[in-house]
Amino acid sequence: MEYELVIGLEIHVELSTKTKIYCRCSTTFGGRANTNVCPVCLALPGALPVLNREVVNFGIKSGLALNCSINDYCHMDRKNYFYPDITKNYQITQFPLPLCKDGFIDMDVDGEKKRIRIERVHIEEDTGKALHTNDKTLMDFNRCGVPLIEIVTEPDLRSKKEAILFLERIKSILIAIGVSECKMEEGQLRCDLNTSVRKKGEEKLGVRCELKNMSSFKAIEKAIDFEFERQVKAIENGEKLIQETRRWDEKNLVSISMREKQSANDYRYYPEGDLGGLKVSDEWVESIRKTIPELPHERIERFVRDYKIPEYDAEVLNLSKTMADFFEETAKISKDPKSSSNWLMGDISRLLNEEAIKIDEIKFSPSSLAELIVLINEGVISNAIGKTVLEEMFRTGNEPKKIVEEKGLRQNSDEEEIKKIAIKILKENNKIVLDYKAGKVKIIGFAVGLVMKETKGKANPQIVNKIVINLLNSGNYYI
């Protein structure tokens, strides 16, 4: 029997506003425990929350970038539960009326377009952190009240690959629009992983299991594999799966049951009376829409369409916005997009890696790189000499033309001179001639290499190639 995996994600992302969602405490990560706290986020008696407008701005921006519609009215709700990570004993979140709803992301999965629907994006507060030691549990409330958006998908994902692709897309969009840095290692992006299995072809969804707080792609991949196997095995053994919340054990790579799934009723959601309703006007939404830049996946598509570079190149270049910007300027000036991409992805990336610096720290400009490309395309220097020039540009920041003149690197296209050198090489290497006569055509490359070496790489390789072949064919090399 074949089974199908069904996945839905609830993704929590910390927003990079300066201050918390209901008070003026700083959101800075990594400070001493309980230093970024105040009566509001500690819920001391009488302290009242005030909604941070920037959090709403960031929420709307995220919703728009994820193709959601923005509700013109919403409010905050109390989700009641008892756990020391929030001293109010309730979290202020959104329940029946989220800020944003009905979005989607279109992705390419194995050459096919696939739409993953987003049910809602709402704003809420993060909770404090519990630190469990041998005999105590310590609480740090610095994170309590840090703003979050929660993105909830429909159960539209069907594999580990789709889930990771989707998460990567969410991450790149949120980073590009500047609402979060999405550093998973700092807990800025974490998700609840909902999975179920059903027999292939069946419409009804299987019984869902929820794994809370997954915080790395690696763990998510491992957990998806584990859950698929566990649930299929249970069904095959005739066991009845229950809807439950489980915990992922990172060390032993297994999931462990925590509790039977709580339902919304258990949380006794009700509207947050200390905050009023939130009206979001069309003007507000439109003013934010204007601030959304071209998103990385849109830019990738445009690079392929407008510059005719391979999708792979477009993807690699767009791993960093500054790299993509550098490419685009170079391509425009040089009018040779593919060479621009080759230099950036090849030698320039290698040099950047060797020096452990980023593209925005590089000493030359896109117009200098374009000048180098034009020098090569016009035959002033060879591609090989181009590499030497690039290294010099990288070290000194000098203009390529200046480097070529100062170092005398101009390509030699003087046929008479090259012919003399080629004859000398053939005379000195009698074996080349004999091998060629014996039908070893590949030996041409070797001969060309020797001539190039003799000219210190400055001879025009196409001309060297032509002359060597002519000499060998004519037998006109005076041995």
Q: What is the contact surface with Zn ion in residues (CB under 5 A)?
A: 23, 25, 38, 40-41
Give the dihedral sign, CA 118/124/125/131: negative
Give the range of 25-33, 151-159, 218-226, 429-437 binding ligand ADP by CB under 6 A: 151-159
Q: Which does 41 bind (CB under 5 to 8 A by kind): ligand ADP, Zn ion, Mg ion, none?
A: Zn ion
Give the range of 14-22, 29-37, 194-202, 356-364 binding ligand ADP by CB under 6 A: 194-202
What tokens does 472 get?
């060998």
Based on CB atoms, which residue is closest to Zn ion, 35 or 257?
35
| Residue ranges in contact with Mg ion by CB under 5 A | 10, 192
- Compute the distance between CA of residue 160 and CA of residue 99 in angstroms, rounded to an integer: 29
Based on CB atoms, which residue is closest to Zn ion, 90 or 364?
90
- Compute the distance between CA of residue 312 and CA of residue 158 in angstroms, rounded to an integer: 24
- The answer to whether residue 6 forms part of the interface with ligand ADP (CB under 6 A) is yes
Based on CB atoms, which residue is closest to ligand ADP, 4 or 415?
4
Based on CB atoms, which residue is closest to ligand ADP, 162 or 328?
162
- Taking CA atoms, 108 is separated from 54, 116, 306, 467, in Å, by 33, 11, 19, 49
Give the range of 146-154, 329-337, 398-406, 432-440 binding ligand ADP by CB under 6 A: 146-154
- The answer to whether residue 195 forms part of the interface with ligand ADP (CB under 6 A) is yes
Q: Which does 155 bind (CB under 5 to 8 A by kind): Zn ion, Mg ion, ligand ADP, none?
A: ligand ADP
Burial label for 373, CB within 10 Å (0-12, 13-18, 19+), is buried
Q: Where are the beta strands (DSSP E) in 234-377?
A: 244-249, 254-260, 270-271, 278-279
**Strand partners of residue 194:** 8, 210
Q: Which does 447 bind (CB under 5 to 8 A by kind): Zn ion, Mg ion, ligand ADP, none?
A: none
Based on CB atoms, which residue is closest to Mg ion, 20 or 120?
120
CB of 154 to ligand ADP, least distance (A): 5
| Among 9, 60, 223, 418, interactor with ligand ADP by CB under 6 A | 9
SS (H, E, C) 425-447: HHHHCHHHHHHHHCCCCCHHHHH
Beta 189-199 vs 209-214: how paired, if at all? Answer: antiparallel
Q: Mark 88-127 with x for binding to ligand ADP (rule: CB under 6 A) and - for no binding.
A: ----------------------------------------
CB 38 within 8 A of CB 87: no
CB of 10 to Mg ion, least distance (A): 5
Sheet arrangement for strand 112-125: 69-70, 100-109, 112-125, 147-153, 3-14, 189-199, 209-214, 244-249, 254-260
- Compute the distance between CA of residue 378 and CA of residue 364 in angstroms, rounded to an integer: 21
Contact set for ligand ADP, span 199-228 (CB under 6 A): 205-206, 208, 210
Q: Which does 359 bind (CB under 5 to 8 A by kind): ligand ADP, Zn ion, Mg ion, none?
A: none
Based on CB atoms, which residue is closest to ligand ADP, 150 or 336?
150
Based on CB atoms, which residue is closest to ligand ADP, 181 or 192?
192
Based on CB atoms, which residue is closest to Mg ion, 192 or 399?
192
Which are the contacts of 94, defined by CB distance < 8 A and separation ≥ 6?
A: 74, 75, 76, 77, 122, 123, 124
CB 277 within 8 A of CB 72: no
- Compute the distance between CA of residue 73 and CA of residue 66 in angstroms, rounded to an integer: 19
Give the dihedral sign, CA 391/392/397/399: negative
CB of 29 to Mg ion, least distance (A): 24
Based on CB atoms, which residue is closest to Mg ion, 97 or 469?
97
Based on CB atoms, which residue is closest to ligand ADP, 154 or 325?
154
Which are the contacts of 168, defined by CB distance < 8 A and separation ≥ 6?
A: 217
- The answer to whether residue 246 forms part of the interface with ligand ADP (CB under 6 A) is no
Q: Which does 66 bind (CB under 5 to 8 A by kind): ligand ADP, Mg ion, Zn ion, none?
A: none
Residue numbers of the site for ligand ADP (CB under 6 A)?
6-10, 152-155, 194-196, 205-206, 208, 210
